């Protein structure tokens, strides 16, 4: 057993000194007529009553031990290693295009953006314990939600990052490579756990053409970031995104409807399962035995007050 506040244990000297005083103290003698009568001495009763004087010091000792916070070693735990996951979503105008044949309750067709946000919400919910960040991009990048375990922050961002909310004259186009590098800077700041980047886009990107994709992939690989790319369109995925994913050890996925997109996220979840770290000692509070002992001493102390004590004179 250990204590969370061991610096309080020296206070146990106080009840020990109190107990010594209770045993040896004689008080102020007072002469009474009965002192000169022939009364048989009962040493056993004298020792018993003096022993009951240890109840208040014992009660004080229990209080000090409880204050010190007793702990016992519990079963070892095997916590999962946190994965830092940054999600980068393309919010250019083309993400408002219909996606599959699904319709929303208001009668409008599901767009690529709607399907992406729905799949992201489902994915983050299934990965509780990991840290998520959320970025939106076109030709520029906005880190909307920093890496956090508050999953509601990402789900509540939907109405504010929908394509068309920002004026298209300055928020349009698609630069996937620029978004990858910007998100990598955020992930690099997290020193604990693995790093994963999920990029969703439906357009062409001129900053991943030719050797540019290789350069971006090598940069992300040097920062130990695994990139999974999702092509949210009916055409073949961008070759540059495929190359970056392969270099970093990730994969590229294609999805043509909302059901397929959710399945893609389930596949990513299986690829990046949480890893268990070494066993850690778990210390549990151990108040119950000490508290029960203190309660028993308190009840016994109250019972002795009915007669098992020395008279005040």
Closest by Cα among 50, 59, 45 to 25 = 50
Question: Coil, strand, or helix at residue 200?
Answer: strand
pLDDT tens per residue, range 3-42: 989 999 999 999 999 888 888 876 666 666 666 666 677 7
Give the rounded percent of residues in the chain with a pLDDT score beyond 70: 84
What residue ranges define each of the domains in the chain, with the CATH number in brackets? Answer: 2-27+40-75+281-304 (no CATH), 83-271 (3.40.50.410)
How does pLDDT run across 80-111, given as a tens digit for each residue? 556 788 999 998 888 888 877 777 777 777 78
Residue 59 has a pLDDT of 92
Has residue 66 got a pLDDT over 70? yes
Please tell me which residue, 139 or 42, carries the higher pLDDT value. 139
Rounded to two decimals, what is the model's pTM?
0.60
Q: In this predicted model, what pLDDT tens digit does every residue of 177-199 receive, in sequence order?
A: 999 999 999 888 876 778 889 99
DSSP string, 208-253: GSTHHHHHHHHHHHHTTEEEEEEEESSSPPPHHHHHHHHHHT--EE
Residue 44 CA neighbour count, 13 Å, CB half: 0
Is the CB of residue 176 less than 8 Å from the CB of residue 208?
A: yes
Lowest-confidence segment of 63-67, 249-253, 254-258 by average pLDDT:
254-258
Q: What pLDDT does residue 258 have?
A: 65
Q: Which residue has the tokens 């357009």?
A: 203
Distance (Å) of CA 39 to CA 35, 42, 157, 310: 8, 9, 90, 16
Pairing mode, strands 194-201 and 225-232: parallel
Confidence of residue 276 (pLDDT cuts 50, 70, 90): very low
Q: Exposed/middle/buried for 190, CB within 10 Å: 0-12, 13-18, 19+? A: middle
pLDDT at 78 over 50: no
Q: Residue 22 and residue 18: Cα distance in Å, rounded?
A: 6
């Amino acid at each position: 057993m250990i204590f969370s506040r061991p610096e309080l244990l020296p206070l146990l000297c106080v009840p020990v000194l109190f107990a010594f005083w209770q045993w040896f103290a004689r008080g102020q003698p007072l002469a009474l007529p009965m002192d000169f009568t022939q009364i048989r001495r009962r040493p056993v009763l004298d020792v018993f009553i003096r022993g009951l004087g240890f109840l208040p010091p014992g009660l004080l000792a229990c209080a000090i031990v409880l204050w010190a916070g007793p702990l016992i070693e519990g079963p070892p735990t095997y916590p999962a290693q946190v994965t830092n996951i940054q999600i980068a979503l393309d919010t250019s105008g083309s993400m408002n295009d219909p996606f599959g044949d699904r319709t929303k309750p208001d009668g409008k067709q599901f767009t690529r953006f709607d399907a992406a946000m729905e799949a992201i919400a489902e994915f983050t919910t299934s990965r509780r314990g990991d840290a998520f960040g959320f970025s939106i991009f076109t030709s520029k990048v906005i880190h909307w939600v920093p890496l956090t375990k508050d999953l509601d922050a990402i789900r509540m961002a939907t109405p504010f990052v929908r394509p068309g909310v920002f004026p298209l004259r300055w928020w349009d186009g698609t630069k996937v490579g620029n978004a990858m590098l910007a998100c990598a800077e955020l992930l690099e700041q997290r020193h604990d756990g693995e790093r994963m980047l999920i990029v969703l886009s439906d357009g062409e990107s001129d900053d991943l053409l030719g050797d540019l994709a290789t350069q971006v992939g090598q940069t992300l690989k040097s920062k130990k970031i695994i990139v999974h790319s999702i092509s949210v369109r009916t055409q073949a995925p961008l070759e540059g995104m495929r190359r970056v994913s392969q270099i970093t050890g990730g994969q590229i996925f294609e999805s043509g409807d909302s059901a397929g997109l959710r399945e893609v996220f389930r596949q990513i979840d299986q690829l990046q399962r949480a890893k268990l770290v070494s066993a850690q000692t778990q210390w549990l509070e151990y108040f119950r035995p000490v508290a029960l002992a203190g309660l028993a001493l308190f009840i016994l102390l109250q019972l002795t007050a009915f007669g098992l004590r020395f008279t005040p004179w």
